[in-house]
Structure 1
Amino acid sequence: MTATDEARRALERQQTVEITTIGRRSARPRRIETWRYLADGRYWLTGSPGTRDWYANIVAHPDFTLHLAGRDLRVRGRPVTSPEERSRVLGAIVPTLAWADSLESWLAGSPLVEIELDPDGQPD
């Protein structure tokens, strides 16, 4: 089984994940807990509308560490800014969240990042 296959299996089992990004200004590691979502057969990071440091860090430094059930994987974040793609992905995620505000508010103000698993990725 490849590292990518193992990462996908871990992501299937684990919605709450920790990520370590590199600070956009400090260049220091920043570790936080967040949720991953599945839509269109791919994995995403997002959150309720608002500014997020983790998002700004991924925009500045797309490579980050995804911490999954005892594994640390180097992955890449792809910020999603296309209105059409944001609408499709958030349109699949937001209706599944009982606590979420309107889809329109998420489209207007929520960060959205695709987790790109590196097929050659190795644990840190």
Structure 2
Amino acid sequence: MDITTTGARTGRPRRIEIWFYRVDGEVYLTTQPARRSWYANLLRHPDFTMHLTHGVRDNLPARATPVHEPAERRRIFAAIIADLDHPRHRAYIAQPVEPIGEWLARSPLMHVTFTD
């Protein structure tokens, strides 16, 4: 899927392709450990548009909330890593996936709430 965020510094729309993850019925945005401009954009401007681009096509207004609480981050990342560390996963991420400590220390994590 794609998301359109508002640039943190420029205020301009920024559209990128990104993976989303479902954990316990909730939707999250994250990546392998790294700094990401989409995360900075969502911290500054949490309202964004999620564009469904495969199969069903739609534009969904949404709001991002950073997940900072350590136990919650650990629970969510453990579920995501367990899914990614499966040999038949289609995310094309090298196996095995980086240890959870790296994700906890260096990965952005946003909870998505649909606003429409």
Q: Name the TM tier (shorter chain).
A: 0.7 to 0.9
Give TM-score, length-normalised by structure 1: 0.80
User: What do residues 46-101 of structure 1 show as CA deviations (whole Å, max 9, x unaligned)?
Assistant: 00001000001000000000001321111000111111110111111112213321
Secondary structure (helix, strand or coil) at the match of 1:48 reads: coil
Secondary structure (helix, strand or coil) at the match of 1:72 reads: strand
Unaligned runs of 5+ in 2: 86-93
Which stretch has the larger CA shift, 98-107 or 21-30?
98-107
Deviant stretches of 4+, over 6 Å = none
Q: 1:34 aligns with which of 18, 35, 41?
A: 18
Q: 1:78 aligns with which of 41, 65, 83?
A: 65
Is 1:91 the equivalent of 2:88?
Answer: no
Look up the match of 2:30: 46
Q: How does 1:1-124 map to 2 (within 5 A)?
A: 17-68=1-52, 69-98=56-85, 99=94, 100-118=97-115, 121=116
Unaligned runs of 5+ in 1: 1-16
User: What do residues 96-121 of structure 1 show as CA deviations (whole Å, max 9, x unaligned)?
Assistant: 21332111110110000011012xx1
Q: By percentage of residues, which structure has more helix?
A: 1
1: CA distance between counterparts of 2:57 and 2:26?
Answer: 22
Give the residue type in structure 2 aligned to 1:62: P
Look up the match of 1:14: none
Aligned length: 103
Give the residue type in structure 1 aligned to 2:16: I
Q: RMSD in angstroms over aligned alpha carbons?
A: 0.9
Q: Percent identity?
A: 46
Give TM-score, length-normalised by structure 2: 0.85
